[in-house]
Amino acid sequence: MNNFWEKLPKPFFALAPMADVTDPAFRRIVADCSRHGEVGGGPDVFWTEFVSADGLASAGREVLKRDLEYTESERPIVAQLFSSHVDQMRTAAKLCAELGFDGIDINMGCPDRSIEKQGAGAAMIKTFEIAKDIIQATKDGIKDAGKDIPVSVKTRVGYNTVIIESWIPHLIAQDISALTIHARTRKELSKVPAHWEHVRHVVAIRDRMGLKTKIIGNGDVMDVAHGKQLAQESGCDGIMIGRAVFGNPWIFDHHRVVTKRPKKMNIFLAKILPRKWMKKLQGSDRYTLSEVPLKDKLETLVIHTKLFEQLLGDFKNFSIMKKHYKAYAHGFPGAKELRIALMETSNSEEVEKVVKDFLHNF
């Protein structure tokens, strides 16, 4: 097997798959800003956004394939799929293998209601046998393509309660190459701090079973230094960074100084308040800030916007970019006013003008 997982350093760092975030445009920005492929650069592994295997197996596949576009500069890159239907997963896995991906990952952790209604995502945690069949279907699809690439899974520690001792051995026993553990249950969503002791428990189970599955920890990782600390404490092989990459595509550059980390959530408030309220309370304190000259940061924002329009503008809504603007425009005088102006834009030309005017008057 052409198993790239075995060639990675320990700990390695991965870009988390996030819907309407880690699209082809943003992945290219991250690769460039974080010096991917250079000494001290990263991430070591890229993930696509999750893509519906059912959709890829249908007549509408051509549109969905746009989410799977990648460049050689992003290798190794893993395609993430979701489905609860064996035939569709096999077809989609064959397609992804033919497209040249270095691996295929199965999403068994997404809490989105629409995904769960399909029996996929976090709903898989309640259907052990279907999860097993989906993993096998993925392997079969890869073989159908005449390829030999690794299969991995991303999941949570349980649905309503922690079921590590039953769920994790079941997955690892399927001979998967890597397992990403989001250290929360589906019920907890991202409202409470990640329980990294659960990652340590998963590592112990893997070791007890005598298998070589790479264990990747995920949840509330603030930056590379924090990730290294968590890896040492938990014993995991890799670290996945998600939300901390917002507005900070430089985050995987090990040589880049982090000047600000997110403030920790108040656990009591996090449990009782809706997530959107908590985001408002945290404001810009929920972002990681790397040492980047303001001009470089805002010019990257413009390049990101142009790339989004170029690659995805004909079928994705421009408003997707605005979640990035909220994150790029913080941590400096006038950031609030700049954010407000950026929220009023509808194309890259308007964004470029807003940024040029801001820098001229700064």
Fold of 294-361: Four Helix Bundle (Hemerythrin (Met), subunit A) (1.20.120)
Query: pLDDT at position 274, please?
Result: 62
Query: pLDDT at position 191, please?
Result: 73
Query: pLDDT at position 283, please?
Result: 56
Query: pLDDT at position 42, please?
Result: 93
pLDDT digits (tens, 9 = 90+) for 201-217: 999 999 999 999 999 99
Per CATH, domain 4-270 is 3.20.20.70: yes
pLDDT digits (tens, 9 = 90+) for 264-318: 655 555 555 565 655 555 555 668 888 999 999 999 999 999 999 999 999 999 9
120 with 153: CB under 8 angstroms?
no
Query: pLDDT at position 275, please?
Result: 58
Q: Which residues are catalytic?
A: 110
Q: Where are the domains of the chain?
A: 4-270, 294-361
Query: pLDDT at position 301, please?
Result: 98
pTM: 0.93
Query: pLDDT at position 180, please?
Result: 98
Block means of pLDDT (10 residues each) for the chain, 362 residues, are: 91 96 96 96 96 93 91 97 97 97 97 94 97 98 97 97 97 98 89 91 97 96 96 98 95 92 62 57 69 95 98 94 94 94 97 96 84
